[in-house]
């Protein structure tokens, strides 16, 4: 009797988690892919959702689970980087971002990570600035500032190349 | 944004997502199960290092590299301070392994183990905590800058082989189950934390009954 109750409880949790994955996975994956590229971004999504499953009692009641899991995914990406010596505190170089060598991709790779994330989410994935702010847990004005700076840098970078 | 650039961005987004297909619940559950499965492994990196009996090496194999902060309970004083620093500097690890070395030392330091656990619980991004029987471990994730590395390189005077092992490991970026005795762990930990040395020493003095060292290193 007790075992069947436990099984039922587990099934219920699993069903809830499955529904949760269906609800948040896309946004989480897109946000992490925008930041870390297809490979690492997806791996970070798996890591973050795994963390969510292990902390299901905690995560299911959060107001903004995608924002929280985005941070968990960011932490996870630290493990993917082979550290050079001497150590430097650095962001992912985004070398694998897209695996593309187009001028645009190269210019995006050179952006600071937050500018890159914001400009990708807004212009490559069509997110509203409000959605970006909610997911990254930053203010809309910060999103706009990152976006303006990113676009300025992108435009300058691409124009410079065109002029050569 | 110019229209052609907007189009290129859209194209970029589409290509990215094509390379990053949706993550399924099954995949997450499989991955979680793999992470939870401890296996005894021997890291090729350390097989040529005669530091200890390799049969004592226990590690938790995971499919990816992890940032893991590890310490034996005997080194928990250092561990706790390190975690505090890590938390404050936003360098907290994803995972914490606490090795419970079955020795009188670990019994004596059980309160420190509790303290370490409490510190872990206070982290803004709580790492996964793994309690693991067996050999001592050491701190990895806290080493973030060149200064710490220099200190690491010079402060392994008590165990140059260990120092070499650390540097090789860090260079490789591999997972590392570290075989060493508890004393070495403390040396290594103190070296790597660098600036926490004094507070660590002061903390230890509470338990050893010895006066804390001054900043010049004299008691």
Segments in B64-210 forming alpha helices (H): 76-88, 104-108, 110-122, 146-154, 160-172, 182-193, 197-208
Residue with tokens 């959060």: A62
Cβ–Cβ gap B145/A88 under 8 Å: yes
What local confidence, expressed as pLDDT, does residue B61 receive?
Answer: 27
Residues of B in contact with A26 (CB under 8 A): 22
Task: Work out the pLDDT band at A3, boundaries 50, 70, 90.
Answer: low
User: Could you report the average pLDDT of every consecutive run of 10 residues in chain B (219 residues)?
Assistant: 79 87 92 59 28 26 30 36 38 38 32 40 36 29 28 30 43 38 33 30 36 36
Cβ–Cβ gap B144/A89 under 8 Å: yes
Q: Tell me whether 0.85 is exceeded by the ipTM.
A: no
Residues of B in contact with A43 (CB under 8 A): 64
Lowest-pLDDT choice from A19-33, A73-87, A142-156, B18-32: A73-87
Cβ–Cβ gap B149/A39 under 8 Å: no
Please name the member of B12, B94, B171 whose beta carbon is closest to the beta carbon of A105. B12
Cβ–Cβ gap A37/B16 under 8 Å: yes
Domains of chain A: 1-97 (no CATH), 100-164 (1.10.10.10)
User: Judged by CB atoms within 8 Å, which residues 100-159 of B form the interface with A?
Assistant: 125, 128, 141, 143-146, 148-150
CB B186 within 8 A of CB B159: no
CA–CA separation, B204 and A115 (whole Å)? 45
Whether residue A26 has pLDDT greater than 90: yes
CB B156 within 8 A of CB B122: no
What does pLDDT average to over chain A? 79
Q: What is the pTM of this model?
A: 0.51
Question: Which residues lie below 8 Å from residue B178, measured CB to CB, with a gap of 6+?
Answer: B46, B70, B135, B136, B137, B138, B165, B169
Which tokens belong to A113? 């990570």
Per-residue pLDDT tens for A90-138? Answer: 333 344 454 455 778 778 888 888 889 999 999 999 999 999 998 888 8
Which one is predicted more confidently, A72 or B176? A72
The residues facing B59 across adjacent strands are B39
Mutate to test the interface with B, among A27, A47, A109, A156 (most CBs of B within 10 A): A47
Per-residue pLDDT tens for B43-79? Answer: 322 222 222 222 222 222 222 223 333 333 333 333 4
CA–CA separation, B130 and B151 (whole Å)? 28
Burial zone of A142 (CB within 10 Å; 0-12 exposed, 13-18 middle, 19+ buried): middle
Cβ–Cβ gap B28/A41 under 8 Å: no
CA–CA separation, B49 and B162 (whole Å)? 9
B89 touches chain A (CB under 8 A): no
A50 touches chain B (CB under 8 A): yes
């Amino acid at each position: 009797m007790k075992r069947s109750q436990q099984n039922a409880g587990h099934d219920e949790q699993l069903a809830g988690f499955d529904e949760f994955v269906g609800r948040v996975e896309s946004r989480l994956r897109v946000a992490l892919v925008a930041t870390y590229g297809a490979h690492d971004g997806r791996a970070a999504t798996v890591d973050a959702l795994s963390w969510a499953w292990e902390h299901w009692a905690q995560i299911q009641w959060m107001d903004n689970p995608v924002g929280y899991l985005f941070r968990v995914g960011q932490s996870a990406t630290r493990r993917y980087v082979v550290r050079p010596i001497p150590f430097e505190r650095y962001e992912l170089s985004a070398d694998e971002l897209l695996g593309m060598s187009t001028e645009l991709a190269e210019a995006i790779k050179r952006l600071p990570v937050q500018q890159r994330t914001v400009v990708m989410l807004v212009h490559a994935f069509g997110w509203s600035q409000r959605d970006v702010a909610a997911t990254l847990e930053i203010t809309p004005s910060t999103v706009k500032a990152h976006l303006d700076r990113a676009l300025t840098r992108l435009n300058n970078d691409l124009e410079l190349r065109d002029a050569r | 944004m110019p229209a052609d650039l907007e189009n290129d961005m859209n194209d970029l987004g589409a290509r990215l997502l094509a390379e990053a297909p949706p993550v399924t619940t099954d995949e997450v559950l499989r991955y979680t199960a793999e992470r939870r499965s401890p296996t005894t492994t021997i890291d090729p990196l350390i097989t040529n290092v005669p530091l200890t009996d390799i049969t004592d090496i226990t590690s938790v194999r995971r499919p990816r590299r992890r940032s893991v902060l590890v310490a034996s309970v005997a080194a928990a004083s250092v561990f706790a301070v390190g975690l505090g620093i890590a938390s404050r500097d936003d360098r907290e690890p994803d995972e914490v392994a606490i090795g419970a070395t079955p020795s009188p030392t670990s019994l004596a330091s059980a309160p420190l183990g509790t303290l370490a656990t409490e510190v872990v619980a206070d982290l803004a991004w709580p790492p996964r905590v793994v309690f693991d029987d067996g050999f001592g471990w050491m701190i990895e994730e806290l080493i973030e800058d060149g200064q710490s590395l220099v200190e690491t390189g010079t402060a392994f005077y008590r165990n140059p082989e260990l120092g070499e092992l650390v540097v090789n490991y860090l260079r490789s970026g591999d997972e590392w189950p570290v075989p060493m005795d508890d004393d070495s762990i403390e040396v290594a930990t103190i070296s790597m934390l660098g600036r926490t040395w004094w507070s660590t020493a002061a903390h230890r003095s509470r338990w050893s009954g010895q006066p804390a060292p001054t900043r010049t290193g004299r008691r």
